[in-house]
Chains A and B, each alone.
Chain A
Amino acid sequence: MLPKFFAGLALALFLIVSALPAQATLSTDLQNLVAQGTTLRTSLTAISVAQGNTCTQLGGFNTSLESYLTSVQTVYGQITGPVTLTTTDLTALDTLSGLAKGMAADSVRLSLELRNIEGVADLFEYRAALSAMLRLADDIGVMANRILEMADRVLVMADNIGAMADRILLTQQLQNANVALTQASILTTQQNMVAMSDSLSTIAYNLSLGLVKNETDALIGEMGGATLTSQGMAVDLSRLEAQASLLLNSTVTLYTWISQNSQVASHYINGDTLTLMGALSSLQTALAFSLETYANTINQLAPLTATPILSDATASMLRLTADIGQMSGRIMEMADKIIVMADNIGLMADRIVATQNLQQVNIELTQNSVTIAQNVILTVIKNYLGQ
């Protein structure tokens, strides 16, 4: 009888002693989470878009927040046995949910601050901050959820619900209200961020690209059809120069349109746009090759050509080469601008690389021809005009 009594006593003592550290650990863990959460909240409050470098600040904060979430998850994972709830524990849970609510309110403030700079910053600058903001909203939401889940788990595991019923109910109600407010703030943050996102399909450019392509085709036809003579070269080149100048204007107008759009909206790349960009760069090589041919012809005709005609012709040639060089550069830049903020960059990656390869080969050929033409013309000026 006595041994049984002692055995029972020993078991009871063991259970009491082993339950106490578990209880103490939960209380300590919750207090630690409150302390870490308060530090985090303070650092988030200190972040302001006006300070600049928003994406670095938010990135650093997000990293800390994710470490904090791991800590919350660890504490949650350790609540595996019965716990005896104390008022301090419940107060800690209340404070934690209040911290999540406060951080969610801060995320709304930051999203409003970001909207204010929308007009003065390029899309790519605040797009980086936008990603960080959405990640922040996501993480704060997860934090609020984990805290609520922890409170629910504590309730499931609690062995003194009856004694603490009123206080538990207060905590559950507060948690519920705070989670609702946190989620509402996160939704507002997301709405603010999504409202800043705009997207355009590049199909809108295809018509203009097609027109530029047709005009380039026409200029190639004109340049291929013109035969320079010592008498008529200045007139012919002046006419071609005017046509090239119009084509350059069309190209620059399209480039400006795409540049302006790429500052405020991302692009959904249409396959035909890439095809047109590649085709245009091929046409530029044909234009540049014609220039090279003209320069050689002028070089041959120079001794037989009157100085005023030669002077006008070489001046026209320099302007033509400048215009065609500028055009080919702008065509490549147009493609670059579209790619930077492409919505479907991953889906179109292979096509983009293929187009960039084609453009690169073409621009190499174009620049070579343009440089050869310029060098020949400069030699003509040096030898025959002596300017």
Chain B
Amino acid sequence: MIASIRTGLFSALFILAGVGLQTGAAQAALADDLQNLVVQAQALDVQLKAISPSAGSLCGPLVQADQAARAMVNSITQVSDNLAAPLQIDAGSLASLDQLSVLNLSLANESLRLSADLGVLSPTVLSISMKDGIVAMLQLSDDIGAMADRIGEMADKILVMSDNIGLMADRIIQTQQIQNQNILLIQQSMLQTQTNILSLVSVVETDTYNLTLGQLVLDGQLLAARMAAVVLNPLTMKIQLSTVATDVHTFLDKVKAAQATMVLDSGSSTTYLNTTPLLNLGNLSTMLTSLASALNGYVLAIDSLDAITSSTTLSASLKNMLQMSADIGIMANRILEMGDLTLAMADNIGMTADQILITQQLQNVNVATTQASILAAQKLAIAIIVARKL
């Protein structure tokens, strides 16, 4: 009986000692984990403080900071997930929580500073670079906000799991107050950061180009019709082609002006793609093939009239032909570039992906056809120049 009581007593003592040791070990592990988080947060704080955005290095440092902030959030979540009751809170752990909260506020203030720096840079940086900076900054503010939440959640979880609240109540209340105060300041910083960043967003809806692009398609079709209606003859060929070359050049100027507007807009804004402008860009490239066909018709006509046309007229006509080929080539390129630029600047690629690809493929085929026609025209022109020794 006595032996059994003694055994029971030893077992109970052993269990108690085990529990005590476990609690002690858990407490030490928690203190270490929290201290490691403080060290990680300090390193992130140093990293953010060292970032000085410039036109040449906008996205790189911010993306790296995003990655470090994400790693920090993951570390906090991991420590929080590993917490197991019962926990004994000590002053060291509470001090670490306080430090974490203060560092979190410092990070939030750094992100606010970075958002102001981006604002200063924005007039001098291309909007495509600014777009990356804006996304990276919003991500950073999201991660720092998440960090604040996770620290708060971890502190609450520690409180729920601890078995010595009564003893540490005053110190815990102090920590909770610091946390609460810092969370409010962090949220204010985050809100200001987001407001600063959102004020930098500038978007042009591509629908605003509809009128210009639609008019270009119309003008181009009329030009192609006029070119097709010209019947060359040996006497008036020079004047006829000179007039057409002037028309083509005038039209080229309109295409260039439209493209220049897009390039100018792209310096300060991103684009929100709509379907109609994409269709118009596709139509423009189709219209180009009509211009190139008309050009080919001219070359064939000149070739057949070659023998009965004077060298002076022929030479001037072929110069005009080469000029037209060059102009239509430039037109084709500018139209393709408008499509490429719109895509590069688009905010909503994912939503219009199918239409973008259809337009790009159509443009590509049409421009290739146009360039092939231009090459054929150039070849024939050169052949006549050689044959007639012009």
Contact = CB atoms under 8 A, between A and B. Distances in A.
Contacts of B132: 55, 59, 127-128, 131-132
A56 B59 contact: yes
B194 A364 contact: no
Given A155-B322, A336-B145, A347-B272, A138 B340 contact: yes
A250 interface: no
B198 A353 contact: yes
Interface stretch (B12-20, B33-41, B300-308, B355-363): B355-363
Contact of B343 (A176, A190, A386): A190
A344 B152 contact: no
Contact of A198 (B70, B322, B350): B350
Contacts of A53: 60, 63-64
B350 A137 contact: no
A378 B160 contact: no
Contact of B350 (A63, A155, A343, A346): A343
In order of increasing CB-CB distance, the 3 nearest A-B pairs are A346-B203, A199-B350, A56-B60
Contact of A183 (B59, B205, B364): B364
Given A145-B337, A340-B138, A59 B58 contact: yes
Nearest to A265: B350
A385 B165 CA distance: 9
A143 to B, nearest CB: 11
Interface in A294-347: 315, 318-319, 321-322, 325-326, 329-330, 332-333, 336-337, 339-341, 343-347
A169 B132 CA distance: 44
A353 B179 CA distance: 25
7 contacts: A148-B371, A152-B330, A162-B386, A195-B353, A336-B194, A371-B177, A387-B166
Choose among A153, A190, A325 the residue with the greatest number of B CB atoms under 10 Å from its CB.
Answer: A190
Given A131-B128, A367-B183, A59 B159 contact: no
A318 B389 contact: no
A168 to B, nearest CB: 6
A148 B169 contact: no
B246 interface: no
A128 B63 contact: yes
Interface stretch (A13-21, A215-223, A355-363): A355-363
A284 to B, nearest CB: 13
B270 interface: yes
Contact of A325 (B58, B156, B195, B372): B156
Contacts, number: 275
Contact of A142 (B134, B163, B337): B337
A169 B379 CA distance: 7
SS class, residues of chain B in contact with chain A: helix
Contact of B138 (A142, A197, A315, A339): A339
- Looking at chain B, what size class is its interface with the partner chain? 35 or more
Choose among B167, B334, B343 the residue with the greatest number of A CB atoms under 10 Å from its CB.
Answer: B343
A367 to B, nearest CB: 6
Contacts of A346: 201-203, 269-270, 272, 347
Choose among A165, A266, A356, A371 the residue with the greatest number of B CB atoms under 10 Å from its CB.
Answer: A371
Interface of A: 53, 55-56, 59-60, 63, 122, 124-125, 127-128, 131-132, 134-135, 137-138, 141-142, 145-146, 148-149, 152-153, 155-156, 161-162, 165, 168-169, 172-173, 176, 179-180, 183-184, 186-187, 190-191, 193-195, 197-199, 265-266, 268, 315, 318-319, 321-322, 325-326, 329-330, 332-333, 336-337, 339-341, 343-347, 349, 352-353, 356-357, 360, 363-364, 367-368, 370-371, 374-375, 378-379, 381-382, 385-387
Given A128-B132, A169-B379, A387-B167, A356 B194 contact: yes
A353 B195 CA distance: 6
B52 interface: no
A56 B59 CA distance: 6
A375 B347 CA distance: 47
A330 B183 CA distance: 14
A356 B378 contact: no
B389 A339 contact: no
Contacts of B152: 325, 329
B223 interface: no
Interface of B: 56-61, 63-64, 66-67, 70, 128-129, 131-132, 134-136, 138-139, 141-142, 145-146, 148-149, 152-153, 156-157, 159-160, 163-167, 169-170, 172-173, 176-177, 179-180, 183-184, 187-188, 190-191, 194-195, 198-199, 201-203, 205, 269-270, 272, 319, 322-323, 325-326, 329-330, 333-334, 336-337, 340-341, 343-344, 347-351, 353, 356-357, 360-361, 364, 367-368, 371-372, 374-375, 378-379, 382-383, 385-386, 389-390
Given A59-B60, A168-B382, A378-B172, A333 B347 contact: no
B378 A172 contact: yes
Contacts of A344: 272, 347-348
A343 B274 CA distance: 12
A367 B180 contact: yes
Contacts of A127: 132, 135
Nearest to A376: B173
A109 to B, nearest CB: 19
A333 B317 CA distance: 69
Contacts of B349: 193-194, 197, 199
Contacts of B351: 199, 268, 343
Contacts of B326: 149, 152-153, 155-156
Contact of B323 (A135, A156, A187): A156
B70 to A, nearest CB: 7
Given A197-B353, A346-B202, 12 more contacts: A59-B58, A156-B323, A190-B343, A199-B348, A321-B156, A332-B149, A332-B187, A339-B142, A345-B203, A356-B194, A363-B187, A382-B170
